[in-house]
Amino acid sequence: MSLPVSDQFKYWGIAAAIFFVLLYALGDQLLPFFLGAAIAYFLDPVADWLESRGCSRALATAIITISAIIVFVVLALLVIPTLVQQAVQLFNAAPTLARNFGTFLSEQFPSLLDEGSTVRQSLNSIGQTISERGGQLLNSALTSAAGLFNMVVLFVIVPVVAVYLLLDWDRMIARVDTLLPLDHAPTVRRLASDVDATLAGFIRGMGTVCLILGSYYAIALMLVGLQFGLVVGFVAGLLTFIPYVGALVGGALAIGLAMFQFWGEWQWIAAVAGVFMVGQVIEGNVLTPKLVGESVGLHPVWLILALSVFGALFGFVGMLVAVPVAASLGVIVRFVIEQYRESRLYQGTSAQTDTPPED
Protein backbone atom coordinates (compact mmCIF):
# COMPACT_ATOMS: atom_id res chain seq x y z
CA MET A 1 0.00 0.00 0.00
CA SER A 2 1.51 3.32 -1.10
CA LEU A 3 1.75 6.34 1.15
CA PRO A 4 -0.98 8.99 0.91
CA VAL A 5 -0.17 11.97 -1.27
CA SER A 6 -0.07 14.30 1.74
CA ASP A 7 2.59 12.15 3.42
CA GLN A 8 4.61 12.00 0.22
CA PHE A 9 4.57 15.80 -0.06
CA LYS A 10 5.63 16.03 3.57
CA TYR A 11 8.62 13.71 3.19
CA TRP A 12 9.78 15.25 -0.09
CA GLY A 13 9.34 18.72 1.42
CA ILE A 14 11.49 17.75 4.41
CA ALA A 15 14.17 16.36 2.06
CA ALA A 16 14.18 19.59 0.02
CA ALA A 17 14.39 21.71 3.18
CA ILE A 18 17.36 19.68 4.45
CA PHE A 19 19.08 20.08 1.07
CA PHE A 20 18.71 23.88 1.05
CA VAL A 21 19.77 24.19 4.71
CA LEU A 22 22.93 22.18 3.98
CA LEU A 23 23.53 24.25 0.86
CA TYR A 24 23.26 27.46 2.88
CA ALA A 25 25.42 26.23 5.77
CA LEU A 26 28.10 24.38 3.78
CA GLY A 27 28.06 26.26 0.48
CA ASP A 28 31.77 27.12 0.44
CA GLN A 29 32.79 23.61 1.46
CA LEU A 30 30.52 22.03 -1.15
CA LEU A 31 31.70 24.28 -3.99
CA PRO A 32 34.56 22.00 -5.20
CA PHE A 33 32.24 19.00 -5.24
CA PHE A 34 29.51 20.81 -7.18
CA LEU A 35 32.12 22.06 -9.66
CA GLY A 36 33.53 18.57 -10.03
CA ALA A 37 30.06 17.11 -10.56
CA ALA A 38 29.28 19.79 -13.16
CA ILE A 39 32.50 19.02 -15.05
CA ALA A 40 31.82 15.27 -14.92
CA TYR A 41 28.27 15.82 -16.20
CA PHE A 42 29.58 18.06 -18.99
CA LEU A 43 32.18 15.47 -20.10
CA ASP A 44 30.06 12.32 -19.69
CA PRO A 45 28.91 12.34 -23.37
CA VAL A 46 32.57 12.48 -24.45
CA ALA A 47 33.33 9.44 -22.30
CA ASP A 48 30.27 7.63 -23.70
CA TRP A 49 31.42 8.46 -27.24
CA LEU A 50 34.89 7.04 -26.55
CA GLU A 51 33.29 3.92 -25.04
CA SER A 52 31.24 3.48 -28.20
CA ARG A 53 34.54 3.52 -30.14
CA GLY A 54 35.88 0.56 -28.16
CA CYS A 55 37.51 2.23 -25.15
CA SER A 56 36.85 1.08 -21.63
CA ARG A 57 35.43 3.58 -19.17
CA ALA A 58 38.80 3.83 -17.41
CA LEU A 59 40.65 4.43 -20.69
CA ALA A 60 38.09 7.02 -21.80
CA THR A 61 38.46 8.85 -18.48
CA ALA A 62 42.25 8.72 -18.79
CA ILE A 63 42.14 10.17 -22.32
CA ILE A 64 39.83 13.00 -21.22
CA THR A 65 41.99 13.72 -18.15
CA ILE A 66 45.25 13.89 -20.13
CA SER A 67 43.63 16.11 -22.76
CA ALA A 68 42.27 18.42 -20.04
CA ILE A 69 45.72 18.66 -18.41
CA ILE A 70 47.31 19.63 -21.74
CA VAL A 71 44.66 22.29 -22.36
CA PHE A 72 45.05 23.65 -18.83
CA VAL A 73 48.84 23.87 -19.13
CA VAL A 74 48.54 25.74 -22.43
CA LEU A 75 46.00 28.15 -20.92
CA ALA A 76 48.10 28.65 -17.79
CA LEU A 77 51.20 29.47 -19.84
CA LEU A 78 49.70 31.51 -22.66
CA VAL A 79 46.24 32.88 -21.90
CA ILE A 80 45.69 33.30 -18.16
CA PRO A 81 48.69 35.63 -17.47
CA THR A 82 47.66 37.89 -20.35
CA LEU A 83 44.05 37.85 -19.19
CA VAL A 84 44.99 38.84 -15.64
CA GLN A 85 47.38 41.52 -16.88
CA GLN A 86 44.77 43.08 -19.17
CA ALA A 87 42.13 42.94 -16.42
CA VAL A 88 44.42 44.83 -14.00
CA GLN A 89 45.31 47.36 -16.72
CA LEU A 90 41.63 47.90 -17.49
CA PHE A 91 40.86 48.58 -13.84
CA ASN A 92 43.79 50.98 -13.59
CA ALA A 93 42.77 52.77 -16.79
CA ALA A 94 39.19 53.32 -15.59
CA PRO A 95 39.80 56.91 -14.30
CA THR A 96 41.41 57.93 -17.62
CA LEU A 97 38.56 56.38 -19.59
CA ALA A 98 36.01 58.16 -17.41
CA ARG A 99 37.78 61.52 -17.87
CA ASN A 100 38.03 61.00 -21.62
CA PHE A 101 34.35 60.15 -21.75
CA GLY A 102 33.56 63.28 -19.76
CA THR A 103 35.71 65.38 -22.11
CA PHE A 104 33.94 63.92 -25.12
CA LEU A 105 30.52 64.68 -23.65
CA SER A 106 31.56 68.20 -22.65
CA GLU A 107 32.76 68.89 -26.20
CA GLN A 108 29.62 67.55 -27.80
CA PHE A 109 27.14 68.64 -25.10
CA PRO A 110 28.76 71.56 -23.23
CA SER A 111 25.66 72.38 -21.20
CA LEU A 112 25.48 68.86 -19.84
CA LEU A 113 28.89 68.69 -18.20
CA ASP A 114 29.74 72.06 -16.70
CA GLU A 115 32.66 72.20 -14.32
CA GLY A 116 31.46 70.88 -10.98
CA SER A 117 28.26 69.39 -12.40
CA THR A 118 26.78 66.25 -10.90
CA VAL A 119 27.33 64.20 -14.05
CA ARG A 120 31.03 65.09 -14.24
CA GLN A 121 31.53 64.31 -10.56
CA SER A 122 29.72 61.01 -10.96
CA LEU A 123 31.90 59.97 -13.90
CA ASN A 124 35.09 60.84 -12.02
CA SER A 125 33.85 59.03 -8.93
CA ILE A 126 32.92 55.89 -10.89
CA GLY A 127 36.28 55.74 -12.60
CA GLN A 128 38.20 56.28 -9.37
CA THR A 129 36.13 53.66 -7.54
CA ILE A 130 36.67 51.05 -10.25
CA SER A 131 40.39 51.77 -10.24
CA GLU A 132 40.76 51.56 -6.48
CA ARG A 133 38.31 48.82 -5.60
CA GLY A 134 38.49 46.71 -8.77
CA GLY A 135 42.25 46.50 -9.01
CA GLN A 136 42.58 46.08 -5.25
CA LEU A 137 40.01 43.27 -5.23
CA LEU A 138 41.65 41.47 -8.15
CA ASN A 139 45.15 41.83 -6.74
CA SER A 140 44.08 40.73 -3.25
CA ALA A 141 42.21 37.73 -4.67
CA LEU A 142 45.34 36.69 -6.55
CA THR A 143 47.94 37.42 -3.87
CA SER A 144 46.34 36.87 -0.46
CA ALA A 145 47.12 33.65 1.38
CA ALA A 146 43.45 32.73 1.73
CA GLY A 147 42.83 33.41 -1.95
CA LEU A 148 45.82 31.30 -2.97
CA PHE A 149 44.73 28.51 -0.63
CA ASN A 150 41.20 28.51 -2.04
CA MET A 151 42.56 28.47 -5.60
CA VAL A 152 44.87 25.56 -4.75
CA VAL A 153 41.96 23.70 -3.16
CA LEU A 154 39.84 24.26 -6.27
CA PHE A 155 42.61 23.25 -8.65
CA VAL A 156 43.34 20.10 -6.63
CA ILE A 157 39.98 18.88 -5.34
CA VAL A 158 37.81 19.77 -8.35
CA PRO A 159 39.81 17.71 -10.89
CA VAL A 160 40.01 14.75 -8.49
CA VAL A 161 36.25 14.83 -7.84
CA ALA A 162 35.53 15.25 -11.56
CA VAL A 163 37.73 12.27 -12.51
CA TYR A 164 36.19 9.95 -9.91
CA LEU A 165 32.63 10.97 -10.80
CA LEU A 166 33.31 10.67 -14.52
CA LEU A 167 34.74 7.20 -13.99
CA ASP A 168 31.74 6.01 -11.97
CA TRP A 169 29.00 8.15 -13.56
CA ASP A 170 27.04 5.33 -15.23
CA ARG A 171 27.27 3.09 -12.15
CA MET A 172 26.05 5.91 -9.90
CA ILE A 173 23.07 6.57 -12.16
CA ALA A 174 22.21 2.85 -12.18
CA ARG A 175 22.50 2.70 -8.38
CA VAL A 176 20.23 5.72 -7.92
CA ASP A 177 17.72 4.13 -10.31
CA THR A 178 17.46 1.07 -8.05
CA LEU A 179 16.53 3.36 -5.11
CA LEU A 180 13.52 4.97 -6.80
CA PRO A 181 10.11 4.37 -5.18
CA LEU A 182 8.64 1.45 -7.09
CA ASP A 183 5.18 2.98 -7.43
CA HIS A 184 6.56 6.17 -8.97
CA ALA A 185 9.69 4.88 -10.73
CA PRO A 186 8.32 5.23 -14.30
CA THR A 187 7.16 8.80 -13.68
CA VAL A 188 10.43 9.74 -11.96
CA ARG A 189 12.45 8.23 -14.83
CA ARG A 190 10.39 10.20 -17.34
CA LEU A 191 10.85 13.46 -15.42
CA ALA A 192 14.56 12.75 -14.93
CA SER A 193 14.93 12.12 -18.65
CA ASP A 194 13.23 15.43 -19.44
CA VAL A 195 15.43 17.26 -16.92
CA ASP A 196 18.54 15.64 -18.39
CA ALA A 197 17.47 16.64 -21.90
CA THR A 198 16.94 20.22 -20.73
CA LEU A 199 20.26 20.37 -18.90
CA ALA A 200 22.12 18.66 -21.72
CA GLY A 201 20.71 21.12 -24.21
CA PHE A 202 21.42 24.13 -22.04
CA ILE A 203 24.53 23.43 -19.94
CA ARG A 204 26.45 21.35 -22.46
CA GLY A 205 25.12 23.24 -25.46
CA MET A 206 25.45 26.75 -24.03
CA GLY A 207 28.78 25.86 -22.42
CA THR A 208 30.15 24.90 -25.82
CA VAL A 209 28.66 28.05 -27.36
CA CYS A 210 30.31 30.17 -24.64
CA LEU A 211 33.70 28.59 -25.31
CA ILE A 212 33.44 29.05 -29.06
CA LEU A 213 32.10 32.61 -28.96
CA GLY A 214 34.47 33.69 -26.19
CA SER A 215 37.46 32.39 -28.16
CA TYR A 216 36.18 34.01 -31.35
CA TYR A 217 35.55 37.40 -29.72
CA ALA A 218 38.93 37.42 -27.95
CA ILE A 219 40.94 36.42 -31.03
CA ALA A 220 39.02 38.69 -33.41
CA LEU A 221 39.24 41.74 -31.13
CA MET A 222 42.95 41.19 -30.55
CA LEU A 223 43.51 40.89 -34.32
CA VAL A 224 41.64 44.15 -34.82
CA GLY A 225 44.03 45.70 -32.30
CA LEU A 226 41.58 46.56 -29.54
CA GLN A 227 43.19 47.03 -26.16
CA PHE A 228 41.83 44.69 -23.51
CA GLY A 229 40.38 42.55 -26.32
CA LEU A 230 41.09 39.34 -24.42
CA VAL A 231 39.20 40.60 -21.34
CA VAL A 232 36.25 41.76 -23.45
CA GLY A 233 36.11 38.42 -25.26
CA PHE A 234 36.26 36.52 -21.97
CA VAL A 235 33.43 38.62 -20.47
CA ALA A 236 31.28 38.34 -23.60
CA GLY A 237 31.80 34.58 -23.84
CA LEU A 238 31.07 34.05 -20.14
CA LEU A 239 27.87 36.13 -20.20
CA THR A 240 26.65 34.36 -23.35
CA PHE A 241 25.44 31.72 -20.87
CA ILE A 242 22.55 34.14 -20.26
CA PRO A 243 20.85 34.66 -23.65
CA TYR A 244 21.40 38.08 -25.26
CA VAL A 245 23.28 39.44 -22.22
CA GLY A 246 26.74 38.44 -23.45
CA ALA A 247 26.36 40.16 -26.81
CA LEU A 248 24.86 43.32 -25.30
CA VAL A 249 27.41 43.74 -22.49
CA GLY A 250 30.40 42.61 -24.55
CA GLY A 251 29.39 44.66 -27.58
CA ALA A 252 28.78 47.81 -25.54
CA LEU A 253 32.11 47.40 -23.70
CA ALA A 254 34.06 46.68 -26.89
CA ILE A 255 32.53 49.54 -28.89
CA GLY A 256 32.99 51.93 -25.96
CA LEU A 257 36.69 51.02 -25.67
CA ALA A 258 37.08 51.22 -29.45
CA MET A 259 35.64 54.75 -29.51
CA PHE A 260 38.29 55.89 -27.02
CA GLN A 261 41.12 54.05 -28.76
CA PHE A 262 40.18 54.61 -32.41
CA TRP A 263 38.33 57.94 -32.22
CA GLY A 264 38.39 59.42 -35.72
CA GLU A 265 39.36 56.09 -37.31
CA TRP A 266 35.84 54.97 -37.96
CA GLN A 267 36.81 51.90 -39.97
CA TRP A 268 38.30 50.27 -36.85
CA ILE A 269 35.27 51.12 -34.74
CA ALA A 270 33.11 49.59 -37.47
CA ALA A 271 35.39 46.54 -37.49
CA VAL A 272 34.86 46.04 -33.73
CA ALA A 273 31.10 46.36 -34.18
CA GLY A 274 31.31 43.96 -37.12
CA VAL A 275 33.02 41.36 -34.94
CA PHE A 276 29.98 41.22 -32.66
CA MET A 277 27.52 41.33 -35.56
CA VAL A 278 29.22 38.33 -37.18
CA GLY A 279 29.31 36.59 -33.80
CA GLN A 280 25.58 37.07 -33.35
CA VAL A 281 24.85 35.77 -36.86
CA ILE A 282 26.96 32.68 -36.20
CA GLU A 283 25.38 32.12 -32.79
CA GLY A 284 21.79 32.59 -33.93
CA ASN A 285 22.00 30.61 -37.18
CA VAL A 286 24.63 27.94 -36.52
CA LEU A 287 25.78 27.44 -32.94
CA THR A 288 22.59 27.74 -30.91
CA PRO A 289 20.36 25.70 -33.29
CA LYS A 290 22.98 22.97 -33.64
CA LEU A 291 24.30 22.76 -30.06
CA VAL A 292 21.40 23.93 -27.93
CA GLY A 293 18.28 23.27 -29.97
CA GLU A 294 14.84 24.74 -29.57
CA SER A 295 13.41 22.39 -26.94
CA VAL A 296 15.46 23.58 -23.96
CA GLY A 297 12.52 25.17 -22.20
CA LEU A 298 14.51 27.64 -20.06
CA HIS A 299 13.21 31.14 -20.66
CA PRO A 300 15.90 33.84 -20.23
CA VAL A 301 13.84 35.70 -17.61
CA TRP A 302 13.30 32.51 -15.61
CA LEU A 303 17.03 31.76 -15.81
CA ILE A 304 18.06 35.28 -14.71
CA LEU A 305 15.59 35.10 -11.80
CA ALA A 306 16.97 31.74 -10.68
CA LEU A 307 20.58 32.92 -10.91
CA SER A 308 19.78 36.11 -8.98
CA VAL A 309 17.82 34.42 -6.19
CA PHE A 310 20.15 31.46 -5.68
CA GLY A 311 23.23 33.66 -6.03
CA ALA A 312 21.93 36.04 -3.35
CA LEU A 313 20.96 33.21 -0.98
CA PHE A 314 23.80 30.72 -1.44
CA GLY A 315 26.62 32.62 -3.17
CA PHE A 316 28.57 31.20 -6.09
CA VAL A 317 27.59 27.61 -5.32
CA GLY A 318 23.96 28.74 -5.48
CA MET A 319 24.53 30.00 -9.01
CA LEU A 320 25.85 26.55 -9.94
CA VAL A 321 22.74 24.91 -8.49
CA ALA A 322 20.38 27.51 -9.97
CA VAL A 323 20.37 26.12 -13.52
CA PRO A 324 19.63 22.48 -12.58
CA VAL A 325 16.96 23.59 -10.10
CA ALA A 326 15.41 25.95 -12.66
CA ALA A 327 15.40 23.19 -15.27
CA SER A 328 13.89 20.69 -12.83
CA LEU A 329 11.17 23.10 -11.72
CA GLY A 330 10.39 23.91 -15.36
CA VAL A 331 9.99 20.21 -16.18
CA ILE A 332 7.83 19.62 -13.09
CA VAL A 333 5.62 22.61 -13.90
CA ARG A 334 5.12 21.34 -17.47
CA PHE A 335 4.30 17.88 -16.09
CA VAL A 336 1.77 19.32 -13.64
CA ILE A 337 0.14 21.36 -16.42
CA GLU A 338 -0.03 18.24 -18.59
CA GLN A 339 -1.69 16.28 -15.79
CA TYR A 340 -4.06 19.16 -15.15
CA ARG A 341 -5.14 19.26 -18.81
CA GLU A 342 -5.91 15.54 -18.66
CA SER A 343 -7.89 15.80 -15.42
CA ARG A 344 -11.60 16.16 -14.84
CA LEU A 345 -10.91 19.51 -13.17
CA TYR A 346 -9.84 20.97 -16.54
CA GLN A 347 -11.96 18.96 -18.98
CA GLY A 348 -15.13 18.95 -16.89
CA THR A 349 -18.16 17.19 -18.28
CA SER A 350 -17.50 18.28 -21.87
CA ALA A 351 -14.87 15.53 -22.27
CA GLN A 352 -17.37 12.82 -21.45
CA THR A 353 -18.75 11.06 -24.49
CA ASP A 354 -22.45 10.71 -24.35
CA THR A 355 -23.44 7.20 -25.25
CA PRO A 356 -26.47 7.10 -27.55
CA PRO A 357 -29.59 5.59 -26.00
CA GLU A 358 -30.37 2.03 -26.96
CA ASP A 359 -33.46 1.36 -29.01
| pLDDT for 90 | 66
| pLDDT for 66 | 92
Mean pLDDT by 10 residues, the chain (359 residues): 68 82 76 84 88 89 90 76 68 63 59 55 59 53 49 75 89 87 82 82 79 88 82 82 75 80 77 86 78 62 78 76 80 83 75 53
Residue 327 within a domain: no
Residue 85 within a domain: yes
Look at the chain and report how many structural domains it folds into.
1
Residue 266 within a domain: no
**Distance from the Cα of residue 299 to its chain's centroid:** 14
Residue 50 within a domain: yes
Residue 268 within a domain: no
Q: Is 130 left (phi over 0), alpha (psi -120 to 50) or beta?
A: alpha
Residue 191 within a domain: no
Residue 217 within a domain: no
| pLDDT for 72 | 81
Q: What is the pTM of this model?
A: 0.64
Judge contact between 235 and 213, C-beta under 8 A. no
Residue 257 within a domain: no
In SS3 terms, the chain reads as CCCCHHHHHHHHHHHHHHHHHHHHHCHHHHHHHHHHHHHHHHHHHHHHHHHHCCCCHHHHHHHHHHHHHHHHHHHHHHHHHHHHHHHHHHHHHHHHHHHHHHHHHHHHCCCCCCCCCHHHHHHHHHHHHHHHHHHHHHHHHHHCHHHHHHHHHHHHHHHHHHHHHHHHHHHHHHHHHHCCCHHHHHHHHHHHHHHHHHHHHHHHHHHHHHHHHHHHHHHHHHHHCCCCHHHHHHHHHHHCCCCCHHHHHHHHHHHHHHHHHCCCCHHHHHHHHHHHHHHHHHHHHHHHHHHHCCCCCCCHHHHHHHHHHHHHHHHHHHHHHHHHHHHHHHHHHHHHHHHHHCCHHHHCCCCCCCCCCCC
Give the domain extent around 75: 27-179
Length of the chain counted residue by residue: 359
